[in-house]
Amino acid sequence: MKVDFTRWLPAIAKDSYRKTALSVAGVAALFGLALAPTAAAAPVTSGPHQGAVAAIDLATGKAATSAHQDEQPVESGLTTGSATGKPPAGKPSRAQLIPHGIEGAQSRVPLDDAQLANARAIVDAAKKTGVGDRGAVIGVATSLQESKLYNLGHLGAYNDHDSQGLFQQRPSSGWGTPDQITDPEYAATAFFTALKNVGGWQDLPLTAAAQTVQVSAFPYAYAQWEEQAADIVQQLW
């Protein structure tokens, strides 16, 4: 049985500075979410999110020449983490960030300023929503898979249905309006609000936790970003 928990997401409004805040309706919805039945982890398969791959290729100027894109490991000075294996003072440890170990081969992409800003918005939302550093890793890894941390608008025929934003959330599935889900703070807050409704999400492998929120046709692809996501969170936390 597939549980559509997105209908419990809070109504979140933006102000003129694109900062999100809970409306009166949002507060009520958030309280309802805390009392709602928990979602069950969805089954795990393998493969890329094809609609998002095409959208990312278009947004970044890379032609979508095939239905499959293999991720090549790329070292980035912005995401290499601690060389000694010891976290800097005040930063979460590797064991906190990746408590269950990584699953399968890992991928990396270098990050530009826009991607880093979006990653920081996700980390900030993780702190505000109380999912902690492990939740932040899940959020960053999910966005790396769905959009490579780019805040994608509607890209016409290249869109996966009506998916937009950092998490490729769909207005038609109840995630919010296009303006809302292309606001990084709103999108991340909505993702973490849904994650908190997943029973025992802290004890799930990253890809299972992400899939329960995203309901992707190819959920196992989230796993390949866990290591880079942990590096990003450790640096930005």
Q: Cα separation of 15 and 28, whole Å?
A: 19
Q: Cα separation of 228 and 234, whole Å?
A: 10
H or E element that contains 165: none
Q: Cα separation of 221 and 85, whole Å?
A: 26
Q: State residue 90's pLDDT score.
A: 86
For every residue of 6-74, DSSP letters joined together read GGGPPPEEE-TTS-EEE-HHHHHHHHHHHHSPPBPPPP------HHHHHHHHHHHT----SS--PPPP-
* Amino acid (one-letter) located at 189: T
Q: Which residue has the tokens 């003129």?
A: 16
89: left (phi over 0), alpha (psi -120 to 50) or beta: beta
Q: State residue 161's pLDDT score.
A: 77
Block means of pLDDT (10 residues each) for the chain, 237 residues, are 38 33 28 32 37 53 41 44 64 95 93 95 98 98 95 73 90 93 97 96 96 86 96 96
Q: State residue 232's pLDDT score.
A: 97
Q: State residue 107's pLDDT score.
A: 94
Q: Cα separation of 201 and 132, whole Å?
A: 12
Q: Cα separation of 164 and 95, whole Å?
A: 32
Token readout for 59 is 């947004």
**Shortest CA distance to 197 belongs to which of 1, 46, 5?**
5
**Shortest CA distance to 187 belongs to which of 209, 206, 170?**
170
CB burial of residue 167 (10 Å; 0-12, 13-18, 19+): buried
Q: Cα separation of 20 and 166, whole Å?
A: 15
Q: State residue 204's pLDDT score.
A: 96
